[in-house]
Amino acid sequence: MTEQIHTASVAMAHPGLLSAVRTLISGWDVSRPANDLLTELDVLCSVQLGDERATENGKATRKATGKSMSRRSLQRGSLFRTKSWWKVRVWVDVPGQAKRAHPSFRVCKIKGPGSMTKPNREREAARIAAEKSAEGEKHLTGVVSPQPPVTGVAALQGPVTVREQGAIMLQELSARGRKPVADHTVRNYSTDLRLHVYPIIGDLPLSQVHNLQLKSVVQAMTREDYAKGSIVRVISMAKMVVASPKDPTTGVPLYPRKWDSNIIDLPVIDEEEMNTPCFTPEIMSGLALYHVPKFRMLFTFGGGAGARIAEMCAIEIDKHISPDFLTVTLTQQVQDGQVTSRMKHRSSRREVDLHPDIAARLKAFVGERKHGFLFTNASGGPLDYDNALYHLHSALKALNYVNPLTGTHIAGTHAFRRYRDTHLSNGEVVCPDGLLKYWMGHSPGKSMSALYNKIKHNPRRRREWAERCGYGFELPPLVLVVPVTAASAEADEAALPLFNFFGL
């Protein structure tokens, strides 16, 4: 330490070194230890003065040899254990420094979430060692340029890790005044970060997160065979965390990045490979014969109205259904078992007009009920999504349905919306585009024609188009649509023969 301080004083005594020392100090990353700065000054003086400083014995020190890439080949690092972490110690090159450093990097937790088995721990340590070696090679060849100094709040408060900034960002998303993010969406974001980002780079300072660090997250998710869409979503979340801290005086991002998808090795999503099944008219006709009245009506309503499952489960008879049952108003949805007025989009608040045939079955299904949810659970609350999905998969399996993307009988409830959209766009009577978007709850767009189109204020015209466009599948006799209050085992058995007629 004394020698390093002496080095700094020697540098100031030589005018030739003054400019170099000032450049080093002005561009120094304040998140790094002070001892590193002294080491850099020592190296700078060694280069400028020929490394001719005498030792206590009066002998000149040996001139440092150049960096040898062969000494780092096939480096696997040294794995060791601390109180809470498994770490790996690796030899790395430091830009502007003749001597190599020997830092340690976290591999995984010893216990709890993020811990690994011994084989996985060793593989992860080897991966980190190889990655850090590759970074050193890029520094030597000049590929990686030094980052600008961190200023503002980060310089005052010290380095902030990805994990710490992720928690701050999630709080800001839900608390901001302009377009606050829904609570369930924030929980989904938190889950993505906790499961995929934090175990890999959660304890890295934000200043050290670049393309290669995000690549390690991609590689980890790829090894676990996650879908391409999931990987892209998680990487987007990690980018949001890095971009979220702003300078409090200017609002400028503290850690600007130029992300490169090629370096990150981000997978490319092909829309043709996405799991977006759409029911055929034959499958819809079979679902309309399902032997449980409640779900038979749910499937029929889904294909005839194109509403989202969360919207259908939140429909209340006395609030959202017109007296003639020809129009259903969608103003709320069910999230995590609770009804909320917060919709997915602003355009999701809409009125959906039904064909008279579907309206008649809806009226028969409601029966004498005057209030309450249209589709209920056993206690009278809104229908549970998982329950609806279970009955849908049971019906699809009985109908021998095959998802063309997965080869199984599994399909989500969004297939009803795709069916309705496809029918309205390609049926015998093609629905006007503005009305189609309104019924489906899609954004009308920003064109002047979309802004001038006021079809939503003309219910008579909308009902005429609903009857003209139809619904595209066969409905069972009206006698099968029994009121929910009269649903019983006898009624289910009465409906079962027709259901079996379609192979169920």
Q: How far is CA 408 from CA 101, 273, 402, 411, 500, in A?
A: 54, 15, 5, 8, 21
Cα 376 to chain centroid, rounded: 31
Supply angle C-alpha 41, 47, 52, rounded to 5: 100
Instruction: Report the first-to-last Cα separation within the chain, whole angstroms.
Output: 83
| Residue 110: per-residue pLDDT | 83
307 vs 323: CA distance, rounded Å: 20
| Residue 174: per-residue pLDDT | 84
331 vs 117: CA distance, rounded Å: 49
Sign of CA dihedral 481, 482, 485, 491: negative
Q: What are the backbone angles phi and psi of residue 376, rounded to the nearest 5°?
A: -115, 160
- 488 strand-pairing partners: none
488 vs 415: CA distance, rounded Å: 29
- In the DSSP assignment, the letter for residue 384 is P
Structure tokens at 115: 């811990």
The model's pTM: 0.63
Q: Is 334 helix (H, G, I), strand (E, B) or coil?
A: strand
Beta strands 78-81 and 104-109 are unpaired
211 vs 307: CA distance, rounded Å: 41
| Residue 81: per-residue pLDDT | 86
Cα 456 to chain centroid, rounded: 33
Structure tokens at 326: 């020809």
188 vs 341: CA distance, rounded Å: 19
Contacts 24+ apart (CB under 8 A), 386-394: 388/295, 388/298, 388/309, 388/313, 388/413, 389/413, 391/290, 391/292, 391/295, 392/287, 392/295, 392/299
Helix ranges restricted to H, 372-447: 385-398, 414-426, 433-440
Supply angle C-alpha 334, 174, 381, rounded to 5: 15
Structure tokens at 481: 């649509």
Helix ranges restricted to H, 314-382: 317-320, 356-366
| Residue 22: per-residue pLDDT | 67
Answer yes or no: are the C-beta atoms of 401 and 290 closer than 8 Å.
Answer: no
Query: Which H/E stretch holds residue 450?
Result: helix 448-452
265 vs 250: CA distance, rounded Å: 33
Give residue for tokens 């014969």: 289
* Nearest alpha-carbon partner for 352 in 263, 466, 454: 466
Q: Residue-wise pLDDT tens for the chain (504 aa)?
A: 444 445 445 444 555 556 666 666 766 666 566 666 666 666 656 555 544 443 444 444 444 455 554 444 456 678 888 877 788 888 776 655 566 777 788 888 787 767 788 877 888 888 888 777 655 554 444 444 444 444 444 443 457 899 999 999 999 998 888 888 888 888 889 999 999 999 999 999 999 999 999 999 999 999 988 889 999 999 999 999 999 999 888 989 999 999 999 999 999 988 888 889 999 999 999 999 999 999 999 999 999 999 999 999 999 999 999 999 999 999 999 988 889 998 888 899 999 999 999 999 999 999 999 999 999 998 999 999 999 999 999 999 999 999 998 899 999 999 999 999 999 999 899 999 999 999 999 988 878 888 788 889 999 999 999 999 999 999 988 865 556 654 443 444 444 444 443 444
DSSP 145-191: PPPPPP-THHHHH---BHHHHHHHHHHHHHH-SSSPPPHHHHHHHHH
109 vs 229: CA distance, rounded Å: 28
Answer yes or no: are the C-beta atoms of 97 and 43 closer than 8 Å.
Answer: yes
